[in-house]
Every structure is written in C-alpha cells, then in structure tokens.
Structure 1
Amino acid sequence: MTSSFERKLGASPAPRDPGSRSRATDGPAADGSPNAYARFIPREEVRSFAAWRPSSFGSAPQNPAAPAPAAPLTPELVAAQLQAARQSGYQDGYRDGLTALEGFKQSYAQQVTGQVTAVAQAFRGQLQQLEQGLAAQLADVAVALARQVLRSELATRPELVAAVAQEALVATLASAKQVAVHVHPEDLALLSLHAGEALAARGARLVPDAALARGGCVVDSEVGIIDASIEARWRRAMDGMGQRAAYEVAPSADDAAAPVTDENGAGA
C-alpha cells in the first residue's frame, strides 16, 4: 500500500519487514542516503497520539469532552420557550410599570402639595387682610360709640364734672398754694354745689374758661398743670386703643351711624 508521503515524493514503496519502522527511525540508510522516515511519520501509521505535558506522566491521555448535541426543536419546545419569553416580558413590564407609577405618584403629590400650599398662603393673606379690615371697622365703631356715650353722659349727668375736678385736685401736689381750677362757665355752679368743700380745703379758686368743653377742667398751680379736659382724657383713651381719632363736640355722620340706647332701650 502506497503511503501519502511516498506519493508526494513520487517514489515507489519499498518492501519492509516488521522491524523496518525501528530501523527507519534509527538513522540514515545503509547505503548512506538519508532515510525519509528519520523525521516524518506517515499519518496512516499513527493510531493514537496526544500532546505531551509535564503533568501527563503516569496518566493516560484524555481527550476533551465533545459538546453535547443540541436538542431538536419541537413544537412543544418552541411553545415553552415562547411562554417563558412572554412571562419574562410580563414581569419586566410589570416591574417597569410599578416604577413609573411610583414616580408619577411622587411627582403628582409634589405638584398637589405645591398647589395646596399656594392656595393656603393666598387664603392666609386674604384672611389677614380681612381681619385687619374688620379690626379697623370695629375700632371705628367703638370710637363712634365712645363719643356718643360720652356726650350722653355729659348731657344727662353734668355733675360728673365735680368728680373730675376732685380727682385733678388729688393729683396736684399738696405743696401747691396757688391753685386755680379752669372749667366751662356753665359748670361753675355745678362745681360749687358738688365740690365746694374739696375746693375750699385746697384753697382753690374757680376760673371760667369758655375754651374748655363741658365736663372737663384744668388745674393750674405754681408746681404744674393737671389737664383733665375732655379732649386730653379722650386722647389718652384713644392711645390705649391704638387709635388717633380726635374728640368732636358736635356729632358727626360716623357717630350717627352707631346709635346709643339708654337702659330702657330708648335712643339717646
């Protein structure tokens, strides 16, 4: 049988005996020509071989495991793969949907919170303006009522000027010697009748003063002045209320808007 190596060289095969392989690999031929088998071994003569490694001593050569053949595609296998793909896609979509829904809820909550905060702030500002407006109107009504009550008291009880004069005398220093009580001319008789003893005890003299409104007085002495006029007492009362309304002797349109009734419910 002609080997592939000999066919390539174009030489006819030579008869060989069983020991020819060992002789061929020992060296050159007997006639001195180089032996073709000294370097090459035909593939047909090689039954099994393995690459030598230092760790292969004392162990049989092992061939790498061949990959297992792929299972043939059947309708059932295709259907199972499609079902698995659908289930995986459904789970991925469901998870992405939950993530998107959570993001939407947070965004919507922030938007609604911002809108509610803006509405609450606007409502609070309007409420404060309303409270301020109501407080101002209430103060105006209170001032108007106070004017009417004061006028009513002065008209119905003019003898109250005597109590005012006595309080002013008490506030005057005891060391004062030259004491003069200025009152409206129409109140002179009332003071003499209801506060004559107090005036005599302090040695005070009555001085008519038309510039003063009825119901008030001014005590003048060498140590100072006690202003108990209606205007001064009204101004101090308004300062306590945080108002700057001046007292008006004659009724105004605002005062007429707040009628005052007496104890029997009749208009004053």
Structure 2
Amino acid sequence: MSSNSIIPKEQLTAYQRWELAAFEDINELAAGATPADAAQPLPPDSLPGAEPAQEEAAVEVEQPAQNIPYPTAEEMEALHQQAYQDAFGEGQKAGFEKGFEQGLSEGRQAAVNDVEQMTSVLAVLERANRDFESSMAEVVLDLALALTQQMLRQVLPVKNDILLPLIREALASLPQVNQHPRILVHPENGKVLRELLTADIAHFGLRIIDDHTIQPGGCKIEAGSSEIDATVESRWSRLLAALGRNGDWFEVS
C-alpha cells in the first residue's frame, strides 16, 4: 500500500479492534451464517469483547494539556524577598535569643568580677586604714610620752611635795612589823618631806636620807628585806613597758 492510500483523520469513522474469538464461537457463527451474511461486515457491537466505538474514541482522544502560567520576574523576586525576610527574621530571632542569653551570662560574670574587685579594693583600704590608724596611734603615743616627759622634767624639780602621796601609799603596803623604814630622796625633796612627814616619822620611826643619785621627784623605800623602787627612772620604764615601749628616762625625747 502506498502513502496515497492513507485516509485523513477527518474521514475516519469509529472502528473496532479485531480479536480472535474462541473456536466454539467461530464454528457456531460459520454454521449459522449465510453467504449473504458472510459478505456483510459485522457490526462493531456484535463481536465478543467489543465496546462502543464512541467510548473507544473517547479513550483514544488525548486531552490537551492545561496552560499553567509561569511566575513572572517580579513574582519570583517577591518570593525571593519573602523567603529572605522569613529566613532573616528567624535568624534574627534566634540570634537575639542566643545573644541575650550570652549577654546575660557575660553581664552576670562581669558583675561577679566587679564585686570581687570591689571587695579586694575595700579589703586593701581597710588594711591601709588600720595601718594608718595604728601608725598614727604610735605617733600620737610617742608624742604624748615626749610631752609627758618634758612636763615631768619641769615639774618634779620644783614640786617638792609631789612624793608625799606616793610615800604614804608605799608605807601602807609594807608589812606591819617593828622596823624602821628608810626613805632615800633627793636633798631638795628631803627638806620638804621632813616637814610634811613629822607625824609619820614619829609613828613609823622613819628616817629620811638625802641621796644625790636619786632624781628629784623619785625615791627608794627600804624596810628590812623589802624595797620599793619609786625612782623616776623606774616608774618611767614601767610606764613605757605597759605601753609596749622601750626607753630610758635620761633619753632626751
């Protein structure tokens, strides 16, 4: 068959696929058919397994594809911007939360460090204050001792009766036995004491002895095996020892 025998699509009618029937059906058809029937083509619906031609044509006709419009450049750009903004927002939120937690942690640590530094500074200042107070106390004490010594050096030579309370207190502390106490004093003090202690001299049998080695304002009392050293040097040394100092009355302050 040449290409000129091809029937155009517009002239086609419904058709039916030919299928080989079973041998029993073919025999029955052949037995009952007449020559006229054999010359006539079988209707499409009479063959076994045949379906309506319209339905077959409907199956064979291809449905044209729907035209789906592609997004424009503006729509693509808008989608891109929206996706970018969404991603940026999520990233910004996550970054903010992470940064907030990190900043809070760093802030707390910085506060702890500041408190520790401030505590250290306060401790240093407190130690410095104590040292300053201690050093100032030492300075003030030294100054007070120096002033006291200078005052005593000026007062004792002229205040000849300054020993009277001290001598009476010392005599009262001595054992009450038959003994005659001896009082060694500077000659300037001895003159005054002999006048002021007239009654005590008679009562205790006191003897006032002048001794130039004893500084004015001081004395020594001897009674048997007992001795009271009330010299200015001894009393000054005991005062310095009580204040944690070492010194000598003869040292010029």
TM-score with structure 2 length normalisation?
0.64
Bigger Rg over Cα = 2
Q: Does the CA-based 8 Å contact 2:157-2:217 persist in structure 1?
A: no
Find out whether 1:247 has 2:252 as its counterpart: no
Q: Select between 164-173 and 188-197 the one with higher mean Cα deviation.
A: 164-173
Note closer, same or farther for the CA distance 1:167–1:197 as it changes in structure 2 (3 Å cut).
Answer: same
Q: Which residue number corresponds to residue 218 of structure 1? A: 220
Which residue is equivalent to 1:197? 199
Matches of 1:96 and 1:179, distance apart in 2: 96
Gaps of 5+ in 1: 1-13, 21-44, 46-71, 255-268
Alignment of 1:51-66 (within 5 A): none
Match of 2:118 in 1: 116
Distance 2:242 2:154 in 1: 22
List aligned pairs for 1:66-81, cutoff 5 A. Answer: 75=76, 77-81=79-83
Q: 1:186 to 1:16 in 2, by over 3 A?
A: same
**Contact 2:180–2:204 at 8 Å: present in 1 too?**
no
> 1:155 is paired with a residue of what secondary structure?
coil
Paired residue for 1:155, among 154, 157, 164? 157
* Higher relative contact order (CA closer than 8 Å, sequence separation 6+): 1
Matched position secondary structure for 2:157:
helix
Letter in 1 for 2:201: L
2:232 matches 1:227: no
CA offsets 1:14-69 (integer angstroms, 9 cap, x no match): 9443999xxxxxxxxxxxxxxxxxxxxxxxx9xxxxxxxxxxxxxxxxxxxxxxxx
Contact 1:171 1:226 in 2 (8 A): no
Q: Is the 8 A contact 1:188 1:208 kept in 2?
A: yes
- Tell me the residue number matched to 2:172: 170
CA distance in 1, matches of 2:183, 2:160: 17
Partner of 2:22: 17
Report SS of the residue matched to 1:244. coil
What are the equivalent positions in structure 2 for 1:98-109 lying under 5 Å apart? 98-109=100-111
Contact 1:164–1:216 (8 Å) recurs in 2: no
Q: CA-to-partner distance for each residue in 1:158-198, whole Å, 9 max, x for gaps? A: 12223322222122111151321111223221111111211
- Checking the alignment, whether the CA contact within 8 Å between 1:180 and 1:219 is kept in structure 2 is yes
- Aligned identity (percent) is 23
Query: C-alpha separation between the residues in 2 aligned to 1:198 and 1:234?
Result: 27
Instruction: Compute the TM-score of the two structures, normalised by the length of structure 1.
Output: 0.61
Q: Aligned match of 1:182 in 181, 184, 187?
A: 184
Q: 1:16 to 1:132 in 2, by over 3 A?
A: same
1:180-234 residue CA offsets vs partner (Å, 9 max, x unmatched)? 1111223221111111211221012122222211111111112411222212222
**Alignment check: 8 A CA contact 1:176 1:223 kept:** no
Aligned pair partner of 1:87 in 79, 86, 89: 89
Contact 2:201 2:207 in 1 (8 A): yes
1:142 deviates by 0.8
Q: How many residues align?
A: 189
- For the 8 Å contact 1:181–1:204, the answer to whether it is kept is yes
- In 2, distance between residues paired with 1:161 and 1:77? 114
Q: In 2, distance between residues paired with 1:86 and 1:199? A: 114
Contact 2:220 2:227 in 1 (8 A): yes
Give the letter aligned to residue 167 of structure 1: E
Aligned-residue Cα RMSD (Å) equals 2.9
Are 1:184 and 1:208, in contact at CA under 8 Å, matched by a contact in 2?
yes
Q: Which amino acid aligns with 1:91?
A: K
